[in-house]
Structure 1
Amino acid sequence: MEDSGEGEERRSNWAELTNVCLIDIFSRLTPENRWNSAMSVCKSWLEACKDPTLNTVVNLEPRFESTEDSPGLWTPEFERRVDAMLRSIVEWSDGSLKEIRVRHCSDFSLSFAAERCTGLEILSIMSSARVTDECMSRVAFNCPKLTELDVSYCHEISHESLALIGKSCPNLKTLRRNLMNWLDPSQYTEIVPLDYLNACPQDGDSEAAAIGKYMPNLKHLEIRFSKITVNGINFICQGCPSLEYLDVSGCANVTGGDIDIAVENLKNLEVIKKVNYYIPRMAVHLERYGHWSLYDARFQMDNFRI
């Protein structure tokens, strides 16, 4: 059995570690491990975890990706937790935050981040139901170094925000503006609030026009399940000649032929994901899609999942 004096010595050695040593050790931990473990040990460890060099990135995506979506994630209570975490990291970063990847945040925390972290380069706020155009205008004016933006499933953000971001952030290379599958919304029932689900942005062509006009340097674009038409596809392909990756899967208002024609002049295009949605299984849809052979040009038959 270990001598009590030796145990005390070991504990005191840990307690006497310098702040520089603690920061070096904690830099090897994931943010989640720092939050859930190291920060709760003692005051000196808590202060070390707050060092700006450990808070240049906030990435909660791995946690969200490993967690099944549930109604609890769409509640005001969960949103307040995300907001509190983001605001804390912004304060600790002392303005050095470069990357934010969260979900379910609101204007409350994102405006705070935009005003204090003007060197922000990556912003991903998927499924943030209460982030609005007003907040995104602050992001546009305060964070001109943005190179990557993900505003998927953010229904309160409109084409006006996309235009402002494009005007203010000339180095933007990646945009993700995916929408929920409105062709078969049954997968979201009892998870996403119905009023929010019904508020899905309708004017895909206005968003496409903003992208094509103000984001000429885009290389990666995702607009899954957008209600874009052939006019919108043409706006994008004419205004974004450097595109290398284009995902328009689920865009039911355009055909594969429309897309093939539009992308002809995109010389750098390496990957294109076209319309590949499936027939809903619900019986209510059977009559509508009963004569599926009439729709060869619009539906990619080889990708149907019956």
Structure 2
Amino acid sequence: MEEEKVGGGDTDAGPSSNWAELTHVCLINILSRLTLEERWTGPMFACRSWFSACKDPVLHSVFDLETRFDLLAESPRWWTPEFERGIDSMLRSVADWSDGSLAEIKTRHCSDRSLSFAAERCPNLLVLSIRSCPNVTDDSMCRVAFRCSKLRELDISYCYEISHESLMVIGRNCPNLKVLKRNLMNWLDPSQHVGIVPNEYLNACPQDGDSEAAAIAKFMPNLEHLELRFSKFSAKGLGSICKGCLNLECLDLSACANLTSRDIVNLTSNLKNLTRVIKPNFYIPRSVFHTERYGHWNLYDERFQTDVFRI
């Protein structure tokens, strides 16, 4: 709407306020009480002075769309190029407006384009959560590693174009990293994703679990929280992590199908700070897999509760 139409005019109750004439400090005070979504769907389009206030760096230390994503049921539309372009546009704008003050990025379905842009402009980034980003690759992650060395938390769950190479570079260049989340989608029973996630993406699930485990073990020794749900790494990979990441306090191994209870107990015994370990907690019918390949499943019957996650 036009600036002169915001506020102004008289009402039966007396003269009304001209909201467009609020000082910049007052506007920032008001806008800081709104969520990112609320600012983008209203005040930003009210008038020129409000739009200018919405771009103030003080409002852009955090870019959090993950909270909104968590409230909604996942939609096939999120996996379309059009949706990705919209997320990219928002992230690029916020990274630009932040003037280097952006410390947290929490979103989904962005791409290399916006993430590389953000990495170049946000050297003070501390938290990066980019779950379900099919077009984020090692290229932009290397830019993050070299430009955002203060990074403390990283969530690259369901990002299948990111390989162990990124884990190596991030580990080398971000020594303060304490939290890593590298969860995969449910490849044991992908039916929950069918019709939402493109089939070709589901089929691209990373197979190099032990390579990723080795990279984590060698280059991320200061980790305290590690999530590897549905990872395909073996006891060898877990052994590497337990030798290289001695500061671990929380280890999430939910649905890591290649690990047994005995593996987990034996290999984590040297982690003195470990206060929480989440073991594979599910049941797989014998008809699903060849017993000669997955004969160790009989261990789960004895050592794991099987009523929480059933396939």
Q: Which bracket does the TM-score occupy, shorter chain normalised?
A: over 0.9
Output one character per residue of 1:261-299: Cα deviation in whole Å (capped at 9) or x when no partner. 01101111111101113337xxxx746489999733145
SS of equivalent to 1:303: coil
Q: In structure 2, what is the equivalent of residue 227 of structure 1?
A: 232
Matched, 1:45 2:47: no
SS of equivalent to 1:130: coil
| Whole-Å separation in 2 of the counterparts to 1:7 and 1:48 | 29
Q: Which amino acid aligns with 2:299?
A: A
Q: Pick from 297, 300, 303 the counterpart of residue 299 of structure 2.
A: 297
Alignment map for 1:1-306 (pairs within 5 Å): 4=10, 9-12=15-18, 14-279=19-284, 286=287, 288=289, 295-298=297-300, 301-304=304-307, 305=310
RMSD over aligned CA atoms reads 2.1
Output one character per residue of 1:22-59: Cα deviation in whole Å (capped at 9) or x when no partner. 00111111111111121121111111011000011000
Unpaired runs of 5+ residues, structure 1, are none
Q: Which amino acid aligns with 1:110?
A: L
Q: Say if 2:213 and 2:237, in contact at 8 Å, map to a contact too.
A: yes
SS of equivalent to 2:17: helix
Unpaired runs of 5+ residues, structure 2, are 1-8
Output one character per residue of 1:51-82: Cα deviation in whole Å (capped at 9) or x when no partner. 00001100001110011111111011100000
Q: Say if 2:260 and 2:296, in contact at 8 Å, map to a contact too.
A: no
Q: Say if 2:151 and 2:176, in contact at 8 Å, map to a contact too.
A: yes
| Whole-Å separation in 2 of the counterparts to 1:266 and 1:260 | 11
SS of equivalent to 1:297: helix
Q: Say if 2:125 and 2:150, in contact at 8 Å, map to a contact too.
A: yes
Q: Say if 2:149 and 2:173, in contact at 8 Å, map to a contact too.
A: yes
Q: 1:56 to 1:289 in 2, by over 3 A?
A: same
Q: Say if 1:90 and 1:117, in contact at 8 Å, map to a contact too.
A: yes
| Whole-Å separation in 1 of the counterparts to 2:282 and 2:48 | 53
| Whole-Å separation in 2 of the counterparts to 1:266 and 1:129 | 34
Q: Say if 2:20 and 2:47, in contact at 8 Å, map to a contact too.
A: no
Q: Say if 1:80 and 1:105, in contact at 8 Å, map to a contact too.
A: yes
| Whole-Å separation in 2 of the counterparts to 1:191 and 1:276 | 25
SS of equivalent to 2:299: coil
SS of equivalent to 2:131: coil
Q: Say if 2:60 and 2:98, in contact at 8 Å, map to a contact too.
A: yes
Q: Say if 2:138 and 2:162, in contact at 8 Å, map to a contact too.
A: yes
Structure 1 segments, 4+ long, off by >4 Å, are 5-8, 287-294, 298-301
SS of equivalent to 2:305: helix
Q: Say if 1:104 and 1:125, in contact at 8 Å, map to a contact too.
A: yes
| Whole-Å separation in 2 of the counterparts to 1:287 and 1:19 | 63
Q: 1:79 to 1:260 in 2, by over 3 A?
A: same
Q: Which amino acid aligns with 1:247?
A: D
Q: In structure 1, what is the equivalent of residue 5 of structure 2?
A: none
Output one character per residue of 1:67-108: Cα deviation in whole Å (capped at 9) or x when no partner. 111111101110000000000101110111000000000000
The aligned length equals: 299
Question: Deviation of residue 20 (structure 1)?
Answer: 0.8
Given the two structures, how large is their TM-score scaled by the length of structure 1? 0.93
| Whole-Å separation in 2 of the counterparts to 1:220 and 1:112 | 28
Q: Which amino acid aligns with 2:306?
A: N
